[in-house]
Amino acid sequence: MSFGPPSSRPAVLLTALLSAPAVADDLFVDTQAVPQVLTATRLKQSPAAVPGSMTVLDSTLIRASGARDVPELLRLVPGMMIGYGAANQPTVNYHGSNVNDARRMQVLIDGRSVYRAGLATVDWSDIPLAMEDIERIEVFRGPNTVSYGANALMAVVNILTRKPADSHGTRLKVTRGQRGINDWYASQGTGWEDGDLRLSLSGMQDDGFDEDRHGNDYRDSRRLNRLNLSVSHALASNQSLDWQLAVKEGSNQRPYTYQPVFYGVTENGDNSDANAKNYAGSVRWNIDLNPEHSLYVQGTTQHWERKQVWRACDAALSFSPQLTRLWQLDPNYAEQVARNILAPLPPASPEKYALASEAQQQWRNDGSEQVCGDIDQSTRETRMDLELQDTLSLSDSLRLVSGVNYRYDRADSQTFFNGSLDDSTWRLFGHLEWRASEHWILQGGAMFEDARLSGSSLTPRVAVNYLITPRHGLRAVYSEAVRSPDMFENNVNWSYQVNNLSPAAFGQNSARYFVRTRGPGDLDQEHMRSRELGYNGYFADADISVDLKLFYDEITGMISEPLRNNQYIASNSNKARFSGTEAQMDWHLSLADRFRLTYAHVDAWASNAADRQMSAHNSGSAGWLRNWGRGWSSALFYYGDDALNQYRFERVDLRVARQITWDRTQLELAGMLQQRLDDEPTSNVDNYYDSRHVLYFSAELTF
């Protein structure tokens, strides 16, 4: 596949529509239901009426892709850059950013955010949700702070699960394959007079990458188990109660990256693995006051635990009170002295020079002795969220959605925060849709947000949609968005407490390293201004859906410094620009064949080179789904990026499946082959596989 726009046939059809306004007016008499999306504005809208670009990954596409996790599935979204940092950890960015820190995209599961405010990340490997429980994924490709608050700076991924009413019966699935792939899934759904329930259990395991740049074995396997419970209950003819419970536990191996300040070796087989537990729950009360007025109240709570403990060694001087004081006065000078502990001391003030001299003398005495101790880098994060949303049709042409939200976040870590840190956030939001005429839709919305740690913001969005027909629309959108500095970036208090020191250092069995990092505490929000022109259309005769987008986005006040305990000095001094085009086409050629194409051309510039790492100039995907009859089906996909962190990525995926039916029982046997077409690392110099292909098989029984 060459990187270029999709077929020009939709453009020809669009030209014909524009040149025949009388025919277009007649087409407003539409007897078929128009599909609807929800994520863009919190209002149900047709794709042609949305104030922005949308991608919907439906259940058929999700199954056909053979993807084992959500990041792999998001390769089907134009402009989405999928990479892997160290240790088999997926990173997902829209249009691009730092390869290791994906901080600027909101991710939701049925409206519940899984963005971790404490450490500024989405932990994709630990999302407590099985792929088999997903009904569809709606991706709003653009800033959407207006609807979802800070952190929805560049895109919103809303994962929508299957309704319990659609999950009756038993479903069992196992997947086995190369690279240690060992997945399983089991669910049971049932219903009663006023309600429905689905309980699912699932597990996932693989060995990650095979080797690093030096050919050494890569310690990055992952293992997890999950439990999900979803219940829907009708309280009355106009009221329902939905609640969910999710639990996840597992372990993620980590390559040993600890670097002693002076010298030292690890004592436990390079084991700095992370053991993780996640808990989440939500309750939503839906009320339809009348056909034109509805509201809901939703409460959610989440808890993340990461236990990461290892034993490390360094020179006793690492715990010197004098060296610690010197670091507090001048980190650059302290590091220079530590790295060249026996060299002549650089010129400095009398106080700093005296402290450095004492540190040198300590080294000559017993400060060079190796001591070993336990390092605890465990973290706990908790979130509670309460939201009220009101949806009102003021007239046949005017709709309003509005609401209020309160969120409480708390992070606990002796390493990163020297204890605990909390934050509270209030939000007020609203979006107004006015259908000024049969063809014109005017939309406007705003979000006011006030956070105790990062201050307040007001972000607006205005859009004009011109409907050529109900299924064909042009759009022009201007929006602003913000991203609040998270707890780690703004308020980090990073130091390592080392326990069980052997032998004792300066008479201490427990002490802190002299290196300590403090956040600035006064960071401002990142700010984006976005402009978009686009077209969305559905050609019923050809059964083709098309979306085209031109964009120009500017981000100012960016916080781009890497999160590391070595003179981490965060600032708002960076900025970036992203401009280009995107296209997607979904063509149901017949009942048996479906073709899908996506393409993105992104011109990225950033003042900090790290923010250009995950911006492929050209990227895209192509897919062909085929039903061969007699229970046989196949799906062929191509994914390509010309440069992710300077490395090319091209892969072809082939899935072949056979479905066998006995009465109400179905058995599906499927094989999946992924073949890399390049021989480069996967977005990181240490991410290598021994083989360019991987093969795995699945068997699924439903009854």
Three-class secondary structure assignment of 277-324: EEEEEEEEEEEEEECCEEEEEEEEEEEEEEECEEEEEEEHHHHCHHHH
As a whole-number percent, the residues of the chain with pLDDT over 90 amount to: 67
530-557 mean pLDDT: 96
At 566, the pLDDT band (50, 70, 90 cuts) reads: low
Query: What's the confidence (pLDDT) of residue 34?
Result: 73
DSSP per residue, 654-676: EEEEEEEEETTEEEEEEEEEEEE
Among candidate residues 123, 87, 224, the one with its CA nearest the CA of residue 684? 87
At 8, the pLDDT band (50, 70, 90 cuts) reads: very low
User: CA-to-CA distance for 451 and 649, rounded, in angstroms?
Assistant: 40
Query: What's the confidence (pLDDT) of residue 12?
Result: 43
At 274, the pLDDT band (50, 70, 90 cuts) reads: confident
Q: Number of C-alpha atoms within 13 angstroms, CB side, residue 236?
A: 7
At 613, the pLDDT band (50, 70, 90 cuts) reads: confident
Which tops the pLDDT comparison, 432 or 3?
432
Which of these ranges, 213-217, 368-372, 411-415, 687-691, has the smallest mean pLDDT? 213-217
434-442 mean pLDDT: 96
Query: What's the confidence (pLDDT) of residue 260?
Result: 79
62-76 mean pLDDT: 96
Which tops the pLDDT comparison, 96 or 130?
130
Crossing angle of helices 321-329/350-362, nearest 10°? 150
Query: What's the confidence (pLDDT) of residue 516?
Result: 86
Residues 6+ apart with CB under 8 A from 152: 105, 106, 143, 144, 145, 481
Helix (H) or strand (E) holding 10: helix 9-18
Q: Number of C-alpha atoms within 13 angstroms, CB side, residue 587?
A: 16
Query: What's the confidence (pLDDT) of residue 99?
Result: 62
679-699 mean pLDDT: 92
> What residues are paired with 252 via a beta bridge?
222, 274
User: CA-to-CA distance for 235 and 243, rounded, in angstroms?
Assistant: 13
Residue type (1 letter), 34: V
Query: What's the confidence (pLDDT) of residue 4?
Result: 43
Which of these ranges, 160-174, 315-329, 433-447, 662-676, has the smallest mean pLDDT? 315-329
**Highest mean pLDDT: which of 147-151, 293-297, 373-377?**
293-297
Query: What's the confidence (pLDDT) of residue 7?
Result: 41
Query: What's the confidence (pLDDT) of residue 103?
Result: 80
Query: What's the confidence (pLDDT) of residue 265?
Result: 56
Which of these ranges, 204-208, 301-305, 486-490, 568-572, has the smallest mean pLDDT? 568-572
At 257, the pLDDT band (50, 70, 90 cuts) reads: low
At 568, the pLDDT band (50, 70, 90 cuts) reads: low
At 14, the pLDDT band (50, 70, 90 cuts) reads: very low
Residue 301 predicted with pLDDT over 70: yes
User: CA-to-CA distance for 114 and 643, rounded, in angstroms?
Assistant: 28
Place of tokens 């002549």: 344
Query: What's the confidence (pLDDT) of residue 15?
Result: 46
**Token code pair at residue 267:** 């004592």
Q: How many CB atoms lie within 10 A of CB 480?
A: 19
Residue 285 predicted with pLDDT over 80: yes
DSSP per residue, 439-502: SEEEEEEEEEEEETTTEEEEEEEEEEEEEEETTEEEEEEEEEEEEPPPHHHHH-EE--EEEEEE
Place of tokens 């017949």: 590
Residue 1 predicted with pLDDT over 70: no
At 28, the pLDDT band (50, 70, 90 cuts) reads: low
Query: What's the confidence (pLDDT) of residue 77?
Result: 97
Residues 6+ apart with CB under 8 A from 292: 392, 393
- What is the residue-averaged pLDDT of the chain? 90
Residue 26 predicted with pLDDT over 80: no
Q: Per residue in 540-565, is it b (16+ CB within 10 Å) or e — as a string?
A: eeeebbbbbbebebebbbbbbbebee
**Token code pair at residue 404:** 């209020």
**Highest mean pLDDT: which of 104-108, 179-183, 271-275, 514-518?**
179-183
Q: What burial class does residue 8 get, using C-beta atoms within 10 Å of its C-beta: 0-12 exposed, 13-18 middle, 19+ buried?
A: exposed
Peptide bond connecting 562 to the previous residue in cis, omega within 30 degrees of 0: no
Which of the 8 DSSP states describes residue 255? -
Q: Number of C-alpha atoms within 13 angstroms, CB side, residue 513?
A: 30
Residue 283 predicted with pLDDT over 50: yes
At 155, the pLDDT band (50, 70, 90 cuts) reads: very high
pLDDT, tens digit, for every residue of 106-118?
999 998 998 887 7
Among candidate residues 31, 35, 33, 30, the one with its CA nearest the CA of residue 47? 35
At 30, the pLDDT band (50, 70, 90 cuts) reads: low
Asked whether the beta carbons of 675 and 693 are under 8 A apart, the reply is: yes
Three-state secondary-structure class, residue 248: strand
Which of these ranges, 63-77, 86-100, 321-335, has the smallest mean pLDDT? 86-100
88-96 mean pLDDT: 87
**DSSP alpha helices (H): ranges in 34-95?**
59-65, 70-73
At 647, the pLDDT band (50, 70, 90 cuts) reads: very high
At 22, the pLDDT band (50, 70, 90 cuts) reads: very low
User: CA-to-CA distance for 523 and 514, rounded, in angstroms?
Assistant: 25
User: What is the pTM for the complete model shown?
Assistant: 0.91
Which of these ranges, 11-25, 390-404, 497-511, has the smallest mean pLDDT? 11-25
User: CA-to-CA distance for 206 and 88, rounded, in angstroms?
Assistant: 10
User: CA-to-CA distance for 95 and 154, rounded, in angstroms?
Assistant: 8
At 25, the pLDDT band (50, 70, 90 cuts) reads: very low
576-599 mean pLDDT: 97
Query: What's the confidence (pLDDT) of residue 13?
Result: 40
